[in-house]
Amino acid sequence: MATPVMDKAQATATADYITATFRIRRFNPEESDAVIWEDFQITIDPKERVLDALHKIKWDTDGTLTFRRSCAHGICGSDAMRINGRNRLACKTLIKDINPDKPITVEPIKGLTVLKDLVVDMEPFFQAFRDVMPFLVTEGNEPTRERLQSAEDRERFDDTTKCILCAACTSSCPVFWNDGQYFGPAAIVNAHRFIFDSRDEAGEQRLEILNDKDGVWRCRTTFNCTDACPRGIEVTKAIQEVKRALITRRF
Ligand code: FES
C-alpha cells in the first residue's frame, strides 16, 4: 500500500512546536553606544535552524534585527555567529541540538569590530586572506593543456580546500582576540591550500609571509579553530604542517 504523502499544511500542523527564547546581543551605533541583550520568545519547530528563528524574529517581530546570510545551506560562510557561546553557522545549527529549554544566546563572532547587531567588519579578516596570496602562482612554461596533478598530490591539500571563509576559526582564536594582528587560522589554512599544491611555485614566498611576527608562530595550539570549523577542517593540523614546512623547507 502506498505511503500517504503529507502536504506542507499537514506537515506544519503535525510539527511539535516549542516556545524558545532567543537572547540576542543588540548594538545599533546610530541610536546608542550601549550594547543590550534582548529576549525574543518565538514558537518554532525545534527541527528548524537558528537561521530560521532569526528570520522569524526579523520578519514577524523586529525588522531592525541585523545579520548576514546568503545561501542558507552552509556554503557561503556569511552567517557565522556565537550561539550559546560557541562559533557556529546559524544555517547549520538545529534548535533541538542546542538545548532550547534554556534561553539560546546569539551574539556576533569575537575579535572583529561589531557594525550592528550580529554583523561584524570582515575587512581585517579578508585582508589577512589576501596577504597570503590565495591563488595559484606559476611562472613560465605555460601549458598548452591543463596542469596535470596526481591523485596523491591533490590529496595533500584536499582538507584545506574546504574553507568557506566564514571566520568561525579565526574569531574563536584567543591570539586573534588579543590584538587582531595575527594572520589567524583561516589565512593560514588558505596559504596551506596553495603551499602544498604541487602545481604552485610561490610556496617559499607564502612561507616567508607567514614567518612574520604576526604569522604562524603566534599559534598556541589551543584547537579552538578545529572545534569551530563548520566544514570539519583539521585547522590546527594544517597550521602545524605550515610550521613544519617553515623549518624543513619541504612541502
Ligand atoms: S547562509 Fe551561507 S553558510 Fe550559512
Of the pLDDT bands very low, low, confident and very high (cuts 50, 70, 90), residue 139 is confident
Say how far apart CA 188 and CA 121 lie, in whole Å. Answer: 20
Does residue 203 or residue 148 have the better pLDDT?
Answer: 203
Count of alpha carbons within 13 Å of 194, Cβ hemisphere only?
A: 22
Helix (H, G, I), strand (E, B) or coil at 144: coil
Atom index in ligand 1 nearest the CA of residue 92 equals 4
Q: For 195-222, write each residue's pLDDT tens digit.
A: 999 999 999 999 999 999 999 999 999 9
Pocket (CB within 6 angstroms of ligand 1) = 69-72, 74-79, 89, 91
Say how far apart CA 231 and CA 116 lie, in whole Å. Answer: 26
In this prediction the pTM is: 0.90
CA of 121 to the centre of ligand 1 (A): 17
Which residue minimizes the CA distance to atom 1 of ligand 1?
72
Q: Which residues of 196-233 are buried (b: 16+ CB within 10 A; e: fewer)?
A: bbeebebbeebbebbeeebbbebbeeeebbbebbbbeb
Radius of gyration of the chain (CA): 21
User: Phi and psi for 208 in degrees, rounded to 5?
Assistant: -65, -40
Cα three-residue angle 127-131-134, rounded to 5 degrees: 105
Q: How buried is 131 (Cβ within 10 angstroms: 0-12 exposed, 13-18 middle, 19+ buried)?
A: middle
CB 99 within 8 A of CB 84: yes
Residue range 161-173: average pLDDT? 98
What is the model's pLDDT at position 12?
A: 55
Residue range 231-240: average pLDDT? 98
CA of 139 to the centre of ligand 1 (A): 36
Of the pLDDT bands very low, low, confident and very high (cuts 50, 70, 90), residue 3 is very low
> What residue ranges define each of the domains in the chain, with the CATH number in brackets?
11-120 (3.10.20.30), 123-137+145-248 (1.10.1060.10)
Count of alpha carbons within 13 Å of 43, Cβ hemisphere only?
A: 4
Q: Which residues of 8-22 are buried (b: 16+ CB within 10 A; e: fewer)?
A: eeeeeeeeeeeebeb
Of the pLDDT bands very low, low, confident and very high (cuts 50, 70, 90), residue 146 is confident
Between the alpha carbon of residue 25 and those of residues 29, 30, 107, 116, the distances in Å are 13, 16, 5, 10
Q: For 15-49, write each residue's pLDDT tens digit.
A: 799 999 999 999 999 999 999 999 999 999 999 99
Atom index in ligand 1 nearest the CA of residue 74 equals 3
Q: In what order do the strands lie in the sheet with 86-89?
A: 36-44, 18-26, 104-107, 80-83, 86-89
Atom index in ligand 1 nearest the CA of residue 68 equals 1
Atom index in ligand 1 nearest the CA of residue 230 equals 3
CA of 89 to the centre of ligand 1 (A): 7
End-to-end Cα distance, the chain? 60
Helix (H, G, I), strand (E, B) or coil at 112: coil
The cell numbers describing 113, all together, are 569590530
- Which residue bears the cell 595533500? 156
